[in-house]
Amino acid sequence: MARTDTENAADAAAPGYEQARDELIEVVRRLEAGGTTLEESLALWERGEELATVCRHWLEGARARLDASLADEKPVDKDE
């Protein structure tokens, strides 16, 4: 399925894995600390969900690249 320009632009604007992970850690820390209004907590939760999706996307991409690399390797023939 072809990706739209909007989807490609969204991917280009998405943070890298480490940046998303670090921000997600901060979001969780703030939620666990409490002291925020309901509206702030909901906004943090939503941001956390977005960041978790970004991290999952990066990890799935890494897994696909590893799987493809392993599939490209040819088994060594012991008789050679």
Helix (DSSP H) and strand (DSSP E) numbers for the chain: 3, 0
pTM above 0.75, yes or no: no
Torsion, Cα of 30, 36, 40, 46 (10° steps): 40
Is the model's pLDDT at 52 over the cut of 80?
yes
CB–CB of 20/51 below 8 Å? yes
pLDDT digits (tens, 9 = 90+) for 15-47: 999 999 999 999 999 999 999 999 999 999 999
pLDDT at 10: 53
pLDDT at 79: 61
Residues 6 or more apart in contact with residue 36 via CB below 8 angstroms: 30, 44
**Sign of the torsion angle spanned by Cα atoms 33, 35, 39, 43:** negative
